[in-house]
Amino acid sequence: MEDNILLRVENLKKYFPVKRGIFSRVAGYIQAVDGVSFFLRGGEILGLVGESGCGKTTLGRVVLRLLPATEGEVYFEGTNLMKLSSEKLRSARRHMQIIFQDPFASLNPRMNIENLIGEPLLIHGVASGKEKEKRVCFLLEKVGLEPGYRKRFPHEFSGGQRQRIGIARALALDPKLIVCDEPVSALDVAIQAQIINLLEDLQAEFGFSYLFIAHDLSVIKHITDRVAVMYLGKIVELAETDELYLNPLHPYTEALLSAVPVPDPTLERKRIILEGDVPSPINPPSGCRFRTRCVYAGEICKMEEPLLKEMGKAHEVACHFPERR
């Protein structure tokens, strides 16, 4: 058993029913998350990467029980969140927060900043009145905004400033886990760097853990300790960040990394272009889900689903031919 495990996810699944006809009969299921397992240590940053639609955001929301799971278990500090009553889950949520992708949609336009950031303090009975105001001012300073801004409304701020407000709201209750759901993808590149640096500084100061969801592999390399690669609802590779970038074992990971821009124009790099489209999550391929786009696929890939297996240096991969090179 690993030491200092904050979050452990075991065989987590989330299927969405597809209904058709005038009677809304269930015609199938979108297998958004299908049998995902991983752990996250206290004070660690775990990156979650993959193409749009692979299930990253759904996984983050199911982990926090913002969406109900179809199957599987989520243990937070040893407590199974899937078994908690509504009252106990509300108490546990004090230690788990989320930073949303879109800073324009995640803030209530009718509430001023003091109320937006201070609302969690009231809900959980942590602070009110002057204590709440003091805490809000402290949080605004921590994310690089003036405390005097607290009486303003979201529409008076830029996208980067709104995301800083969202970060302050997530910090309000001193959480131990923050799910960052593509927190910089809706921002300009220059602002992205500022927000990433802010998130790093806050993590170093307060020591919480991030489940950092993104599709920008440059951002993931910069901020994470370990990386999990998702494809069509499954984790296909999981390793420490440096190990994954230097030694990708799954052909999908190889293709993703080959697409990362390199600032040196003299450096030649082979770009791997995947054939075909991502299969439908309603009817995924048998065996290995990546086999329809994989140049290394063999007969066993059609018949058997590859499971994550240890390949040394805490490097796990779900592939029948990880030593093909």
Q: Summarize pLDDT for 235-246 with one digit per residue, the tens.
A: 999 999 999 999
pLDDT tens digits along 114-136? 999 999 999 888 888 899 999 99
Indicate the pLDDT class of residue 22, thresholds 50, 70 and 90: confident
Report the alpha-carbon angle 232-233-236, nearest 5. 80
How is the chain split into domains, by residue range? 225-262+269-325
For residue 55, CA distances in Å to 15, 19, 34, 145, 154 come to 10, 20, 9, 33, 29
Between CA 229 and CA 227 the distance in angstroms is: 6
Q: Across all residues in the chain, what is the average pLDDT?
A: 91
Compute the Cα dihedral for 202, 205, 211, 217 and give only its sign: positive
Distance of CA 139 to CAs 76, 113, 157, 167, 296, Å?
A: 25, 11, 17, 9, 51
**Is residue 1 predicted with pLDDT exceeding 50?**
no
Q: H or E stretch including 218?
A: helix 217-223
* pLDDT tens digits, 313-325: 789 999 999 876 5
DSSP for 19-77, written as a single string: EETTTTEEEEEEEEEEEEEEEEETT-EEEEE-STTSSHHHHHHHHTTSS--SEEEEEET
SS3 of residue 80 by DSSP: strand
**Residue pair 165/113 in contact by the 8 Å Cβ criterion:** yes
In this predicted structure, what is the pLDDT of residue 103? 83
- In the prediction, which pLDDT does 276 show? 79
Q: Is the pLDDT of residue 154 over 80?
A: yes
Instruction: Give tens-digit pLDDT for 67-90.
Output: 999 999 999 999 999 999 988 998
Q: What average pLDDT does this structure show over 29-34? A: 94
pLDDT of residue 27: 86
Is 309 a residue whose pLDDT tops 70? yes
**Nearest by Cα to 66 from 46, 81, 53, 50:** 81
Cα 202 to Cα 200: distance, rounded to the nearest angstrom: 5
Q: Are 180 and 213 in contact (CB under 8 A)?
A: yes
Cα–Cα distance for residue pair 104/308, rounded to 1 Å: 38
177-181 vs 209-213, strand pairing mode: parallel
Residue type, 209: S
Percent of the residues in the chain that have a pLDDT greater than 90, as a whole number: 72
Q: Using CA atoms, how far apart are residues 125 and 90, in angstroms rounded to an integer?
A: 12
pLDDT bracket for residue 104 (50, 70, 90):
confident
As beta bridge partners, residue 12 has: 36
Name the token pair of 310. 């240890």
**Can you give the pLDDT at residue 273?**
78
Angstrom distances, CA of residue 165 to CA of 82, 184, 219: 30, 13, 21
What pTM value is reported for the model? 0.92
Place of tokens 């018949």: 303
Phi and psi angles of residue 258, each rounded to the nearest 5 degrees, phi first:
-70, -20
CA distances in angstroms from 200 to 7, 24, 44, 224, 275, listed in the order given: 20, 47, 11, 9, 37
Rounded to an integer, the average pLDDT of 253-274 is 77
Of 54, 27, 59, give the one whose Cα is nearest residue 278: 54
Question: Sorting pLDDT into bands at 50, 70 and 90, what band is 216?
Answer: confident
Is residue 209 scored above 60 in pLDDT? yes
pLDDT of residue 325: 55
The backbone torsions φ and ψ at residue 72, rounded to the nearest 5 degrees and listed phi first, read 110, 175
Position 274 confidence tier, pLDDT thresholds 50, 70, 90:
confident
